[in-house]
Structure 1
Amino acid sequence: MALSDADLTALAGRLITVPGVIGVVLGGSRARRTHTPDSDTDLGLYYRAPLDTVRLGELAVEAGGPGSRVTEPGGWGPWVDGGGWLNVSDNAVDWIYRDVARVQRCWSDAEKGVYAFHVQAGHPLGVPDFSYPGELAVGRILADPTGELATLQRRVRIFPRPLADALVAGLWEADFLIGLARKAVTRGDSAYIAGCLFRLAGVCAHALHGAARQWLINEKGAVAAAGALPGAPDGFRSRVDAAFAAVNNDPMHLTLAIDIAADLVLETTDACAMMLR
């Protein structure tokens, strides 16, 4: 049986008894109410160091059984941070650490239009640092005894115009990638061209979300989400699919793929300009 909202709230109430945990936020599809019976439940454990991972590990065993484990902060890499993959009453529940001090720093940068994509295993485009405040903006707070997260959430739900402008300005990279990809056609370097197209699609998706003043916090589903935005280029998702479908070792097909992408970059640039007016 799926975990109810009451079940999750009760679990969050236990989690905030762990020294270092200041609040718990429901994220992912469950927070957006778009989840399916197969969806994992993502719980963001917002903490302030030091985090008592010994006590947290004990609670993981209590909630998920004797095989449950949690990592130290940083155990899953510099930007995913750490946490635990649990099975709670036959439901996949992910505990994901979020350092509140880092969330606040990333928000401060986002307000100034400063951002970067950071190398992280499992994230081929890279983790955008603004995803930290974005996660809180789109999440649902389950436990927040001091009210600190609610206060921060009210701020981050207003997408900063400087970040929107910076993401749209970042389309220069998409145009640059077109030129790089074209140079690889005569070599038949389909892998390199596919890599250029992937990053190009991600840059465009983030620019469109920035122009629409909406948070994009995950590569998965980014192209579909961008295509669904009001004002996005017509057929954005299907045209990205068509570009990738044309990638093989035939120079004519590779050129077609790049031409499709080049048109999308131009149209994305125009669309973003209209959305920001």
Structure 2
Amino acid sequence: MIPADLPDRLTAVDGVVAVALGGSRARGRHRPDSDWDLGLYYRGTLDVAGLQAVADQVADGPVELTSPGDWGPWVDGGGWLRIGGTAVDWIYRDLDRVHRIWADCRAGRYEIGRQIGHPLGFYSCAYPGEVALCRVLADPTGELTALRAATGDYPPALAAALDNGWEADFMLGGAAKGAAAGDAAYVAGCLFRVVGILAHALHARAGTWLINEKGMVEATAALPEAPADFADRAHLLLGGIGRTPVELAGTLATARRLVRDAFPV
């Protein structure tokens, strides 16, 4: 449990507009040992020194906070703290950028960027998805609360953009060339991408936000339009690819059936 006054202490730091609880704890899917993920939504110049002062007061031991951008282009930065023996992650989010991405999503636009910790790539639509699924903890101006209400409605244009099977077919075509050469590593990469494409497409079709790769297979399997036994079939694909051209070709045939079930003609 985080200190009750921590969100208010964070929004008192220059630049911090709001604080939200994200991750599995916000959605009620956490385990007892799950981290507390705090999104620090900021605007303009963030007073990292002011945040560091708060961290020094509440953390169990020394902690070093980053400047915005130090963790990569999409996960801005933050810090890993332990408070009362519990892991509490502070994660920066540029609120103006979140608004811009939300406008893109409403227009049916998204991008996928390289980001450490995201093997599928960081989908820009995760930004509004995080807001939609968060629990607002401190929001003096009400801005994040209003944005959360707006993002509760999944944009139809974004759903149409993500619910498209052509890339899955394209990836399987490329994987077939790798399979013929016995290139199991390349086939494995293609299949992970295919499963991710299906997960995003099926979530979009259901009007449900998918914000990262963790748990995406099981979450997709629970959707009403997911192919039968989606989780078992996806895990089997990724866990038993094979090594020889014959084995790899058989795996790709299984993958094609899963894609066809997700995108029936």
TM bucket, shorter chain: over 0.9
**TM-aligned CA deviation for residue 252 of structure 1:** 2.1
- 1:49 is aligned to 44
Offset of residue 68 of structure 1: 1.3
- CA contact under 8 A between 2:37 and 2:89: conserved in structure 1? yes
Residue of structure 2 in register with 1:142 after alignment: 137
- Structure 2 distance, partners of 1:112, 1:159, is 12
> Partner residue of 1:38?
33
Partners of 1:190 and 1:248 within 8 A in 2 = yes
Does the Cα contact within 8 Å between 2:242 and 2:251 map onto a contact in 1? Answer: no
Whether the 8 Å CA contact 1:46–1:99 is kept in 2: the answer is yes
Determine the C-alpha separation between the residues in 2 that align with 1:195 and 1:113: 27
The alpha carbon displacement at 1:66 in A equals 4.4
Contact 2:61 2:82 in 1 (8 A): no
**Structure 2: distance between partners of 1:81 and 1:160:** 25
Whether 2:70 is the aligned partner of 1:75: answer: yes
Give the alignment partner of residue 172 of structure 1, picking from 136, 158, 166.
166
Q: In 2, distance between residues paired with 1:243 and 1:83?
A: 36
Distance in 1, Cα, partners of 2:263 & 2:61: 53
How many Å separate the matches in 2 of 1:69 and 1:246?
41
Equivalent residue number for residue 124 of structure 1: 119
Give % identity: 49
In structure 2, the residue matched to 1:86 is 81
State the AA in 2 paired with 1:190.
A
Partner of 2:18: 23
**Normalization by structure 1: what TM-score?**
0.93
Q: Is the 8 A contact 2:60 2:85 kept in 1?
A: no
How far apart are 1:11 and its partner, in Å? 0.8
1:16-59 Cα deviation digits (max 9, x unpaired): 11000010000011111111121000000000011000111111
Cα distance between partner residues in 2 of 1:241 and 1:102: 35
CA shift, 1:248, in A, is 2.4
Q: Write out per-residue CA displacement over residues 216-260 of structure 1, whole angstroms, 9 at most, x where no aligned residue.
A: 001011111111101210011111122123312222221121111
Q: Within the alignment, does 1:59 sit opposite 2:54 as a pair?
A: yes
Query: What SS does the corresponding residue of 1:185 show, helix, strand or coil?
Result: helix
Aligned to 1:200, the other structure's residue is in SS state helix
How does 1:227-266 map onto structure 2 within 5 Å? 227-266=221-260
Helix, strand or coil for the counterpart of 2:75? coil
Q: In 2, distance between residues paired with 1:98 and 1:71? A: 13
Stretch moving more, 249-258 or 160-169 = 249-258
Distance, in Å, in 2 between the alignment partners of 1:60 and 1:123 is: 26
Question: 2: CA distance between counterparts of 1:252 and 1:244?
Answer: 16
In structure 1, list runs of 5 or more residues that go unmatched: none
CA RMSD of aligned residues (A): 1.2
- Provide structure 2 residue ranges, at least 5 long, that are not aligned to the other structure: none
The CA distance in 2 between the partners of 1:85 and 1:245, in whole Å, is 32
1:215 to 209, 214, 230: 209
Instruction: Decide which moves more: 116-125 or 38-47.
Output: 116-125
